Structure 1
Amino acid sequence: MKQTLRFEQLSCRLQVEGLPDVSVGQRGEAIGIITGWSLRWAGRPELEGRKEHLLALMQVVLPYARHLISGVRRRFGGPPLPVEIGPAGATHTLLLRSSQPDTPPLTIGLDDAELADLVRVLDQLRLDPRLQMPLDLPAPQPLKPREVQGRLPRRQRLAAPLGGAVALAFAAGVSLLLPEPRPQPTAAPQAPAAEPDPSPEPPPSP
């Protein structure tokens, strides 16, 4: 029996349809096989596709949002992936490539609120216990060193090494200004005390 999952936010609604995977004993409201999905936005064309397209959307949108929270704006996706998202000034551009030949890519501009709504519905789907199928999503990765450095202003990045160099130079200058300690006079060696003669004295004569 076909099941339907719906997740709604202010600007979008995600609907996923599927069936229980009876081969692994699923039943009831469980979805182990996705048969279709649709994403509706106010004032924008409706998106729909197969399971592969939904996974591709999650694989680029979720890590993109995590990097935005960390202050790193970078593009995710790109050919040959069907979905790509990246910054566009103060907004974001979502690009969808169709698997149909001679069909141009669809570009959708999103503001911060619309992107947040999209992330929420995708997260709700990912965490829904009724979706009982493995999702091939990338594990969260820590930021690369160059990405962390790019978050900090140059003045803040140079403050620590410059502060260390100044402290070292100050310590070296202070050590040069201090007078050298005078040598202490050595005491004259003392003669060893005379030791008593251990031999016994002869007894007095009568």
Structure 2
Amino acid sequence: MKLTYRYEQISARLQLEGLPDVSIGQGEQVLGILTGWTLTLAGRPELEGKRDHLVALIEVVLPYARHLVSDVPKAFGPATSPVTIEPRGTGHRLLLRSSQPNTEPLDLQLDDAELADLVSCLDQARLDWRVQLPLGLPAAQPLKRRELLVRTPLAQRLAAPLCGAAAVALTASLALMVPPPRPGAAPAPAPPLPVEKTR
């Protein structure tokens, strides 16, 4: 029995088609074998591909969105990947390469709302319990320390060390201004204590 699951947002629609994998005992509602998928973005041609293309799309778009939310935008997907995405101006450039020979890559410009709709569709499909595809997606990794440092302006990162160095230098210069005691000089006698007279 063929299964079709659709995930829709305002400007994006992802449709998965497939069958249950009865060899491992999947139920009638579980999509375990992907036979095809289509992605429709508003005002753009319909996209379709194999399982590898869907995996590449998820592997590239979801980490890109994660870095974008963390205010660390960067490009994802090597030049040999079927999918690459990178910041471009105020939007995002999504480049899709076909596996068919002599086919030009599809270059799409997405705004923030369209990217959010695409991410939502991919997330819905990835988290749907009825879709149990062996996608082999890597586990989400936390941002690296150097990536988080990029978010802090250089002046703010250098402020604390510079203030500490200035405080040490000021303390040292004040200590050098105090004259050292003369060698061999006798210490000044202590003043006598007042004695209370008794009658």
| TM-score, normalised relative to structure 1 | 0.83
The match for 1:151 is: 151
What is the alpha-carbon distance in structure 1 between the residues aligned to residue 95 and residue 187 of structure 2? 83
Q: 1:183 to 1:81 in 2, by over 3 A?
A: farther
Aligned length: 186
**Which runs of 5 or more residues in structure 2 are unaligned?**
189-199
The match for 1:112 is: 112
Q: Displacement, 1:179?
A: 6.0
* Structure index of larger Rg: 1
Please report the RMSD computed on the Cα atoms of aligned residues, expressed in angstroms. 2.0
What is the alpha-carbon distance in structure 2 between the residues aligned to residue 183 and residue 146 of structure 1? 60
Q: Displacement, 1:177?
A: 4.2
State the one-letter code of the partner of 1:120: S
**Identity percentage of aligned residues:** 61
Q: Residue by residue, what CA displacement relative to the aligned partner does 1:29-56 show, whole Å, maximum 9, x if unpaired?
A: 1011111011112211011111111111
The match for 2:127 is: 127
The match for 1:193 is: none
1:99 counterpart = 2:99: yes
The match for 1:45 is: 45
| TM-score, normalised relative to structure 2 | 0.86
State the one-letter code of the partner of 1:101: P
Q: Displacement, 1:143?
A: 2.7
What is the alpha-carbon distance in structure 2 between the residues aligned to residue 138 and residue 75 of structure 1? 18
**Which runs of 5 or more residues in structure 1 are unaligned?**
186-206
State the one-letter code of the partner of 2:28: G
